Each structure stands twice: as structure tokens, then as C-alpha cells.
Amino acid sequence: MNTPKATNVPRADAVTSRRVRDPYADLLRDTRAMRREHAAARDAWFAGLAVERKEDLLFELEMLLKGLYHWTNTRNHASAGGRDPLYIRNFRPHLAVARAVMLRCASLCAQLLAASRSAVTVTRTPPTGFTEEPRGERPESHETPDGALLALRQTLAGHAEIVNGLLRIDHVPYRLFAAALSAVSREVTRNPFFNPLFTLEFRPEFDRVRVPDVLDAILSVDGETAHRLVALANVGCLRVLRMTALLAGASADPSGIPRAWALLAAVRAELRALGNVLRHRASVMLSESLERDLMRVPASDLRNRYDTVVRDCDRVRKLRAVLVSVGAALRAEARRLTEVRVPGCDAMLPPNEVSAALDAACARLRDALQSAVVQVTRALRGGADAERIFGDRGARRASSERLRHSAWMFTVVTRAFVTRAREAQTDDVWRVGPEMAFVGDFLGYFRALGASLAQETEYPEAERLTQAVMALRGADWIDTQRLDAAVAESEAFAAHLRDVVERTGARDELRGVAFDKAAAAETLRMHLGA
């Protein structure tokens, strides 16, 4: 089985003093796993294609190849209703899904080859070893985009035939299933022009930011590291949003449901990777960048630049809170997508039920991704309108609903923290271990939800709240004075959030829409288990 490839993320080094003006070009340069000459040849090949919807065809091909790779990992399989132990499961339905994806990819390759201006000759004659021509000077068909595409098509068609033979077996164990798919993935990784098996890798053909408000928000960010992280968050969400549209289109047709399951695996893998970067690496990258900037300030100039330094620190702190919050939300949606919403391919449900479940999951995921883009854009520019950004009247409602759910969820978390803190007020101030675990849990939830909510809802005592809560970090005993201060500030913030829930529900876009507490509780469970 192939070793999963490392996630491509913006580099934290190579900091320059210039301000990046093209966020996509900068992100592409750091994440595109392709040699320069191959990238130029692929761009020229794509520009010469004379076919309608060539961008959509290439996008579907590469996302299906990505989905086929992630389909090998059972963690990415839809499993609403639970899973049996791996060693007793029959992966024959999963292998049938892989065959359908291979055949669809081979068909897409044929469509792109038919539209290519240059003809590709097919030969099955083995190369001659005894020759006077240097091997490096002989043309190789796979060194051109057309040749690589033809090789990919032949590989997929051949492995589809092998899978046809394996499907004659009544019981397919996981090891046989994984070996069959790993062989296909290994061939794709060798393809120099059509190898999308990298997480968070972006392509110029279909990943450009075309939304003016989002582009302006990215360009407004100062600092190269912060700029790259914001570009990654927005471009990543927009990429998964397009994958979600492709998934919804596949699920609308019963014959496309197998492809939808594979695309679902790719969507979950992208969400997890993007969420992990924003939750865990964004804070480190931003803090290291800020430290480098601060160390460049001469000691003699600190007094004069004190206000500027404070503003820079505050800006980085607010940006970190937003990015971590978006990462936590994406992580929760990745879990909800496969563990709650969509049944597995081995559930043997009627196609109409599976299609309805996939459609509902796509609608929920689309709302979450749009809300994430709006949240980042609003934090950077202020006053961002979801309907104007996406041209979707439902986007504004989804954004307000997300805020209402998030505010309610953190009031529940705060209530649990306050209750546990009051129970911990004992005479034994040196109690450690599990008795202090609730403090660490609350700090994690505050970073994931509370800090960004305080900023987004314009809580007037946000600074005091943050100081009181973060003062609990690293304590190995229950400090009564600090704990009391954190409890008091948290209770005041919870009262503010309850008012936010009421005021948000009174907005025009939510007028007459009942608060779905069950959905909010489900989201909270996904956060708590992430």
C-alpha cells in the first residue's frame, strides 16, 4: 500500500520584505508538485484543447483520481450507522465503486484525447536495447501531456479489467482491496502531468479566485506568512466547494452514486488536511513570523514603534483566532460528512435513499464552506455580504445560522465549564490529574470557538475575557483566584452570546426560521469528538 503523501502547505520560511500581490500565484508556486518544464507543457496543452467544458472535464478527472486514492483508506468511507471490525468486512462493494471510478476516468481521458490537437500514436512494440541512438535523445510518448494522458487511460482500463475478475469473488478482504487500488495509485504517481495525489495542491486551470470581495480581502493582509495562510484558507474552501458541487451532480444520477462515494472520500481528506493546517500549524507559523518581524526592530526604536508593534500583535492574534475557528469547523464537518450523514456503500440501501442522503450532506457542507469563506473575509474587510460573494440568496441565511449555532454551542460549553469549576473549589488546592482536565478542555474549545466569537460578535470585554481564560494555561494545580476570574468572565460572555442568539434569530434572513437545536447539538458533538 502506498505511503500517504505529505500535505502541501505554504512554507513558513523564505520571508521577504515585499508584499505579495498575486495570492494565487504565490500559493501555486509553493504547493504545485510538478517540474517547471512539465508545468509549462501542461499549460500549453490545456490552452490548445478545443472542447467545451474542458476545465470541468479536467477537474472531474483529477478529483476522481484523488478520490480513488483516498478510497483505499477506510477512514474516508461513509459509515453512518457504524462499522464492523476490519477483518470481517467484505470489501466487494467498495471494489465495485473503484471499478466505476476507473471506467469514468478512462472515459474522461478519451474525451480529452479526442479534443487534443496533436495525435498520439499507440505502439505495443517493446523498445530495442541494442541501438546506436543514445536513449536520452529518443522521444518518449509519456513525456508529453497527450502521451501521459494516453498512458493513464490504458492503465485505468487495464486495472478495471483486473478488478472485474476480482469482483467474481464473493468475499473480498481488505488486503486484497487495498492491493488492487494501490497498484492504480502507484501508476498515477508516476505520471508527470496528471498526478493529483497531493493534499492541498492547487492548479491554475480551476483554482483561481474569481470572487472580487474574497480577492480584495486576501490582498489586504500584510505579511507574507499571514497572506499565504489566508490565501490557503480561502482557496482551499473554494476548492472543496467546487468538489461539493461535483459530488452533488454525481449523486443526482443513480449511475453516478459510486463516483459520489469516491468523491466523498476526497472531500473528507481535503477537509481534514485543511483543518489540521489551520488548527495546528497556523498559530506556529504566525507567531514565528511575528517574532522575526519583532527581532528586526532596533532596540533604540522600540519606544517610537511601540504602538505599531501592539497593533501588529493584536492583528495577528485576531487572525489566528479566525483561522483556528475555521479549521475546527472544517474538521467537525469532515466527521459529520462520513460518520453521520451518508450511509456506506455496503449498506445496500435503495439508490433514491442514498441520493437523498448525499444531497442533504452536500447542502450542509456547501453552507459550512460558504460560511467559512464569509467568516475569513468579514474578519479581514468587515461588512462582507454572503449573498454578494456567492450570488446565492441562501448564503446569507447559512452564514447567520452558523453564527447562531456557534454562539449557542459555546454557551453550552461555558455552562459545563462553570459547573465543573465550582465543583473543583475545595480546600485541597494541590489536586492534579483528571481534576484539572476540564480546564485544558475548555481552553481548547475557547481557541476553537470562543476567541473568534468574541471578535465576530464585537464583545466589548474580549481582551479581558481572553486574558482571564488564557491565564489558566500551564497550571498544575487549581489556582482559586485565577479560576474565579475565568468563571466570572466566561459567565458574562455566555450572557452576551445568549443575547447574540436572540438578535441573530431576529434577522431578516432568519425570520420565521426555527432554531434547529438538534442540528446545533450534532455539530457540538462533532467539535467535542474532533
- 6 domain-assigned: no
Domain count, the chain: 3
Q: What is the CATH number of the domain that holds 29?
A: 1.20.120
> Do residue 464 and residue 364 come from a single domain?
no
> Where is average pLDDT lowest: 49-53, 63-67, 142-146, 277-281?
142-146
Above 60 in pLDDT, residue 450? yes
Q: Rounded CA gap, 221 and 19, in Å?
A: 9
pTM score, whole prediction: 0.85
Which residue, 345, 365, 393, sits at the end of a domain?
A: 393
- 1 domain-assigned: no
**For 49-68, b where at least 16 C-beta lie within 10 A, e where not — what string?**
beeeebeebbbbbbbbbbbb
> Do residue 495 and residue 422 come from a single domain?
yes
> Do residue 404 and residue 388 come from a single domain?
no
> Do residue 345 and residue 489 come from a single domain?
no
> Do residue 413 and residue 387 come from a single domain?
no
Could you count the other beta carbons within 10 Å of the beta carbon of residue 78? 25
> Do residue 51 and residue 92 come from a single domain?
yes
- 241 domain-assigned: yes
> Where is average pLDDT lowest: 74-83, 137-146, 483-492?
137-146
> Where is average pLDDT lowest: 246-255, 408-417, 438-447?
438-447
The pLDDT tens digits for 124-148 are 556 566 656 555 443 455 678 999 9
- 13 domain-assigned: no
> Do residue 63 and residue 147 come from a single domain?
yes
- 409 domain-assigned: yes
The pLDDT tens digits for 151-178 are 999 999 999 999 999 999 999 999 999 9
Give yes or no for a contact between 247 and 362, defined as CB atoms under 8 angstroms apart.
Answer: yes
Q: Rounded CA gap, 29 and 253, in Å?
A: 37
> Do residue 287 and residue 316 come from a single domain?
yes
> Do residue 258 and residue 271 come from a single domain?
yes
Output the pLDDT for position 4: 46
> Do residue 497 and residue 445 come from a single domain?
yes
- 209 domain-assigned: no
Q: Rounded CA gap, 53 and 206, in Å?
A: 11
What is the domain range of residue 29?
23-122+142-199
Assign 388 to helix, strand or coil. helix
Give yes or no for a contact between 178 and 1, defined as CB atoms under 8 angstroms apart.
Answer: yes
- 206 domain-assigned: no
Output the pLDDT for position 398: 87
> Do residue 445 and residue 356 come from a single domain?
no
> Do residue 326 and residue 415 come from a single domain?
no
Which residue, 377, 393, 409, sits at the end of a domain?
A: 393
Output the pLDDT for position 482: 85
SS (H, E, C) 112-164: HHHCCCCCCCCCCCCCCCCCCCCHHHCCCHHHCHHHHHHHHHHHHHHHHHHHH
335 membership: H or E segment, kind and range: helix 306-336
Which residue, 393, 410, 443, sits at the end of a domain?
A: 393
- 219 domain-assigned: no
State the chain's mean pLDDT as an integer. Answer: 84
